[in-house]
């Protein structure tokens, strides 16, 4: 009767083959985990990006999507004469500003929803209350239609009525959320601008995006 034992060299071959497969599989999984975004990509699909825009900051400088290209942005909508949620929101936004002040990879964009009153001069005076450096915290005004379209279709901000007794049109956008946008214009998070605990989360999430490769 023939000896049916597998020759030792075949046994070694299969062991080595199994080890190589395990090593390859483990490294592929590791690389996949490294490339997988740590924060979700939000929107109707992963192709959602902030659309081109053109607004003016508190120094009278035109700001476009080229200005924000390659930067992590924190976005909000407010108006300077607001006596309701805006002051609290911007006190909390200052927490974010102070945490990343001087970091050229992080930019705050505060859009007015009342461009008729919030002129460049008005926004400059308002920004001075927060000692905001326009290189890092921009207060933006411009065409109302474009501001509102950016809110709804780029930043996916929903309208929330809290007008502090003001009589304004029904199309007015007033929302308490901050929006986190990554380096290539994708929405990565929404945060309650009235809650300091949300600011702690936002600070950590910005740090995550700073480490993330495109």
User: Is residue 42 in a domain?
Assistant: no
Same domain for 103 and 144, yes or no, is yes
Same domain for 15 and 105, yes or no, is no
Among residues 86, 99, 47, the alpha carbon closest in space to that of 205 is found at 99
Q: What is the pTM of this model?
A: 0.78
Residues 6 or more apart from 190 whose CB is under 8 A from it? 42, 177, 178, 179, 180
How many domains, the chain?
2
Q: Which domain, by its residues, includes 27?
A: 1-36
Same domain for 15 and 113, yes or no, is no
User: Is residue 167 in a domain?
Assistant: yes
Each residue's pLDDT expressed in tens, for the chain with a length of 214 residues: 455 555 675 666 657 666 666 665 555 444 444 555 589 999 877 789 999 999 999 999 999 999 999 999 999 999 999 999 999 999 999 999 999 998 999 999 999 999 999 999 999 999 999 999 999 999 999 999 999 999 999 999 864 444 343 333 455 667 899 999 999 999 999 999 999 999 999 999 999 999 987 5
d(CA 84, CA 107) in angstroms, rounded, equals: 25
Same domain for 132 and 28, yes or no, is no
Same domain for 12 and 83, yes or no, is no
d(CA 135, CA 119) in angstroms, rounded, equals: 18
d(CA 101, CA 103) in angstroms, rounded, equals: 6
Same domain for 30 and 63, yes or no, is no
Burial of 140 (0-12, 13-18, 19+ CB in 10 A): buried
């Amino acid at each position: 009767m023939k000896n049916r034992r597998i020759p030792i060299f075949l046994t070694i071959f299969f062991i080595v083959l199994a080890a190589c497969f395990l090593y390859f599989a483990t490294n592929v999984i590791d690389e996949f985990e490294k490339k997988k975004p740590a924060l979700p990509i939000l929107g109707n699909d992963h192709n959602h990006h902030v659309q081109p825009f053109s607004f003016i900051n508190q120094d009278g400088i035109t700001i476009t999507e080229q200005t924000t290209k390659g930067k992590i942005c924190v976005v909000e909508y407010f108006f300077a004469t607001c006596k309701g949620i805006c002051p609290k929101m911007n006190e909390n936004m200052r927490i974010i500003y102070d945490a990343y002040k001087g970091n050229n990879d992080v930019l705050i964009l505060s859009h007015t929803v009342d461009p008729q009153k919030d002129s460049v001069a008005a926004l400059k005076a308002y920004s001075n209350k927060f000692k905001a450096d326009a290189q890092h915290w921009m207060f933006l005004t411009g065409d109302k239609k474009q501001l509102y379209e950016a809110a709804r279709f780029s930043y996916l901000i929903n309208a929330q009525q809290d007008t502090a007794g003001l009589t304004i049109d029904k199309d007015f956008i007033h929302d308490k959320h901050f929006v986190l946008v990554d380096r290539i214009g994708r929405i990565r998070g929404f945060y309650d601008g009235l809650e300091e605990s949300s600011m702690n989360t936002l600070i950590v999430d910005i740090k995550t995006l700073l480490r993330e490769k495109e």
